[in-house]
Amino acid sequence: MKRIAVFTSGGDAPGMNAHIRAVERTAGKRGLEVIGIIGGYAGMIAGHFEVLDRIRTANILDRGGTVLKTSRCEEFMHPDGRTKAAEQLVKHGIDAVIACGGDGTFSGAHFLNAEHGVTIIGTPGTIDNDLSGTDYTIGYDTAINTATAAIDKIRDTADSHGRLFFIEVMGRHAGFIAMDVGVATGAEYVAVHETLTDIEVLYQRIIAQGLDSRTIVIVGEGDELGGAYELSRTMEERYGLASKVSILGHMQRGGSPTVRDRVLGARLGAAAVDALLEGYSNVMIGEIGGSITYVPLRETWENRKQVPQYLLELAHLLV
């Protein structure tokens, strides 16, 4: 093995740059050349490759997003697109690939390996924290701290005006962000897709606060009732309760990564290089209980990670 490639795909996540830097630094120490694929799978198909060195990866640790850019590539979802991508890897003399992303990225990586024999390792880069085989994903810690800081500011105006706020956070298929920030901000209710949202219980929580008191309700975007706007509309139509809605949106993906995400990104990047050299392929490198894990890519999305029961109970207990 002489030349490896690294790319980021799907939604960007703070800490991806620390990961890229660690791959370049570690590979260099192991005698490998590193190629950066620009723009995820779309860049792989188009042949947008560039050599990564110490200069290219310098001073990127504190930057959010990804210097390698990212994309969601419809073409790669089809066999013809994956064939084009594999041909580009051969053309550029790539012996192995490190793919940083979420379940969509890992699904593509799995099929690239299965159909074309590409040696590929996945690393978990997503703010949703929804991949099995790792305690935390790169970007999650920054996202929950960003969301918590924003909600703390919204609380100030909610307190001043005695208003009911529905605040929507990311996590279409997983409620990790919502549950953590709900507990951290003292929300009166947390609505996530893992549990059924009980409108009557929510109403009673709001009443218990007093109609002239501030009330914060955290809503995961995957809640089965349709998100913050739908919950707000339902409460007004059914109970006559006026409310304000804040959608935190993509701000949760941005910003300088926390120390925790920088260290996690760096550790998993270094471990991914060593895993390739040890002969691993078609697995995700994760971290559980402080130890590096090797999990088949398919298991990372088929065995959907569940929000811990203690968090659900804690959110209910602390209201």
Least confident piece of the model among 33-42, 122-131, 225-234, 267-276: 225-234
How many alpha carbons lie under 13 Å from residue 297 in its C-beta half-sphere?
26
Percent of the chain at pLDDT > 70 equals 99
Say how far apart CA 234 and CA 236 lie, in whole Å.
Answer: 5
Q: Please give the distance of CA 304 from its chain centroid, rounded to a whole number.
A: 14
User: Helix (H, G, I), strand (E, B), or coil: what is residue 138?
Assistant: strand
Q: Give residue-wise pLDDT tens across range 50-59.
A: 999 999 999 9
Q: Are residues 25 and 128 in the same domain?
A: yes
Least confident piece of the model among 28-32, 165-169, 212-216, 287-291: 212-216
Residue 113 lies in a domain: yes
- Residue 60 is part of a domain; what is its CATH number? 3.40.50.450
Q: Give residue-wise pLDDT tens across range 171-220.
A: 888 899 999 999 999 999 999 988 889 899 999 988 888 767 779 999 99
**Section 135-143 average pLDDT:** 98
- Residue 209 is part of a domain; what is its CATH number? 3.40.50.460
Q: Are residues 168 and 51 in the same domain?
A: no
Q: Are residues 94 and 29 in the same domain?
A: yes
Give residue 226's pLDDT: 86
CA-to-CA dists, residue 306 to 23, 117, 122, angstroms: 30, 32, 20
- DSSP summary character for residue 257: P
Percent of the chain at pLDDT > 90 equals 84
Q: Where is the domain boundary, 253, 287, 310?
A: 253
Q: Are residues 184 and 64 in the same domain?
A: no
Instruction: Count how many domains the chain has.
Output: 2
Give residue 218's pLDDT: 96
Q: Which of 170, 229, 210 is nearest to 12 (CA)?
A: 170
Residue 314 lies in a domain: no
Q: Which residues pair with 167 in a beta bridge?
A: 218, 246
Say how far apart CA 67 and CA 78 lie, in whole Å.
Answer: 26
Q: Are residues 145 and 239 in the same domain?
A: yes
Strands 291-296 and 283-288, by their bridges, are: antiparallel
Residue 308 lies in a domain: no
- Quote helix, strand, coil % in the chain, to nearest 5: 45, 20, 35
Confidence band for 135, pLDDT divided at 50, 70 and 90: very high
How far apart are the two ends of the chain, measured CA to CA in Å? Answer: 56
Hey, what are 308's tokens? 């811990």
Least confident piece of the model among 2-11, 85-94, 142-151, 297-306: 297-306
* 79, pLDDT greater than 80: yes
**Section 95-105 average pLDDT:** 97
* 24, pLDDT greater than 70: yes
Query: In this structure, are residues 138 and 162 in contact, taking their beta carbons and an 8 Å threshold?
Result: no
Active-site position among 80, 95, 103, 128? 128
Q: Are residues 112 and 242 in the same domain?
A: no
Instruction: Select, from the ranges 109-118, 150-159, 202-211, the one with the highest average predicted confidence (pLDDT).
Output: 109-118
Give residue 96's pLDDT: 98
**Residue 152 is a catalytic residue:** no
Give residue 316's pLDDT: 81
Q: Which of 98, 88, 85, 84 is nearest to 36 (CA)?
A: 98
Residue 34 lies in a domain: yes
How many alpha carbons lie under 13 Å from residue 200 in its C-beta half-sphere?
0
User: Helix (H, G, I), strand (E, B), or coil: what is residue 264?
Assistant: helix
Q: Are residues 268 and 128 in the same domain?
A: yes
Mean pLDDT (the chain, rounded): 94
Give residue 222's pLDDT: 85
Say how far apart CA 319 and CA 317 lie, in whole Å.
Answer: 6
Domain limits for position 172: 141-253
Confidence band for 160, pLDDT divided at 50, 70 and 90: confident
Q: Bigger pLDDT: 315 or 137?
A: 137
CA-to-CA dists, residue 35 to 51, 97, 165, 268, 280, angstroms: 5, 9, 47, 18, 19
**Section 30-50 average pLDDT:** 98
Give residue 194's pLDDT: 86
Confidence band for 319, pLDDT divided at 50, 70 and 90: low
